[in-house]
Structure 1
Amino acid sequence: MTLIAAIIRLISGINNLLGRIFSWLALGIVLVCFTVVVLRYAFATSFVWMQDLYIWLNGAMFTAVAGFALLRDDHVRVDIFYRPASDRQKAVIDAIGVVVFLLPFTWIVYRYSMPFVTRAWGYYEASANVGGMPGLFILKSFIIGFAVLVALQGVAMLLRSVLVLGGRQDLVPAAMRYGRKADDLAEAAR
């Protein structure tokens, strides 16, 4: 059981680290978008590559932090039944949700995006816009990263359910305990 807790900590640590790093792209998005607007309206000029840049940063950020959002329980959920449920009931709901919905979804995303990403790498795809950025193939690779990171966090959730249902909630890492608020989760993951 301690091995399960160690695996949960490892997966959650990876998503926590990547989430904290890639969430800084939000600042970059704002700065680049602000620069594009100022250049366009104050100086009557624009650069296509800059317009590509803030869109690409947005795509990279949201795909890279998806596992982090799942770790923090920041995703959308209908809490009518889940919120008042006991920890054991939550563990059952999470286990079913991960096995029936989350892992198949991430497999489908991975399976169907892999040829798309491979083709983009095959000819080093760039922006379709004249004067746009090179390296679109790198951005498309974030789709695979999204599927992997979310699937890994789903595995961590499933393992948490195993610990809770096995009566070993004491082994659940603080960042993954039920009943914690999102801000507490971030603090516990540090």
Structure 2
Amino acid sequence: MNLPDKSQLQYFVSGIDAFSDACGRAIAWLTLLMVLTQFAVVVLRYLFDTGWIALQESILFMHALVFLLGAAYTLRHEGHVRVDIFYEHLSRRRQALVDGLGTLFLLWPVCAYILWASWGYVTNSWQLLEGSREAGGLPGVFLLKTSILLMASLLALQGLSMFLKNLLIIFDRGEGD
């Protein structure tokens, strides 16, 4: 199999990984903002006997964004749950084969399904410019729903990086079986 120049693939993979890292670091700041917002909600409620629905909903929005948009970063750093019995005892090349096949037959089909299944849900929300059902709630529910499509796209992109890294390992002639 003829692959593009190894250095070109590595550069491309590094670019995807850097993008995932930048997204992950940016999204990580939402966790701090979420904690501070939750603290403000508690202080407002129990010290001042007041509160705003929009402020409470913003915590829900931030929580969803942390998980949805942080998934690719987690995948990049192998922070996902891996249950295996044999994988850790395999050679590096065979681990790359397992990971590559997992990307090809599990990750990408799931991403494609999420994109396909949520497309109508998200576009309908955009057509309505859907907002909160609560009086005084946040108006941008359609933007939050869009993060479902972004999550699947970011995961698929990070999967491409993983797949290419695994191809490089599999076809590296200097690596033993």
TM-score, length basis structure 1: 0.85
- Separation (CA, whole Å) in 1 of partners of 2:172 and 2:100: 15
Determine the C-alpha separation between the residues in 2 that align with 1:25 and 1:94. Answer: 30
- 1:74-93 superposed matches below 5 A: 74-93=79-98
Q: Secondary structure at the match of 1:80?
A: coil
Deviation at 1:144?
0.7
Distance 2:24 2:174 in 1: 25
Q: 1: CA distance between counterparts of 2:174 and 2:123? A: 42
Aligned ranges for residues 143-154 of structure 1 at < 5 Å?
143-154=148-159
Superposed displacement of residue 22, structure 1: 0.9
The structural deviation recorded for 1:120 is: 1.0
Q: Deviations over 1:19-43 (max 9, x none)?
A: 1111110001101111111111222
Equivalent residue letter for 1:137: F
Q: 2:119 aligns with which of 94, 114, 117?
A: 114
Name the SS for the 2:136 alignment partner.
Answer: coil
Please state how far the C-alpha of 1:127 moved relative to its aligned partner. Answer: 0.9
Aligned to 1:21: 26
1:159 aligned onto 2:164: yes
Give matches, 1:46-85, under 5 Å: 46-85=51-90
Q: Which amino acid aligns with 2:86?
A: F
Q: Tell me which residue corresponds to 1:39.
A: 44
Seq. identity, %: 35
Q: What is the match of residue 3 of structure 2?
A: none
Q: Which digits, 9 at most, give the CA deviation of each residue in 1:133-168, with x for residues without a partner?
A: 111111111111100000011111111111001116
Instruction: Quote how far apart the aligned CAs of 1:111 are.
Output: 0.7
Secondary structure of the residue aligned to 1:24 is helix
Residue pair 1:163, 1:169 contacting (<8 A) in 2 also: no
Match in the other structure for 1:181: none
Question: Which residue identity does 1:3 align to in structure 2?
Answer: Q
Gap runs ≥5 in structure 1: 171-190
Runs of 4+ in 1 over 4 A off after TM superposition: none
Aligned 8 A contact 1:70 1:153 in 2? yes
Equivalenced residue count is: 170
Larger radius of gyration: 2
Flag the 1:54–1:103 CA change in 2: closer, same or farther, 3 A: same
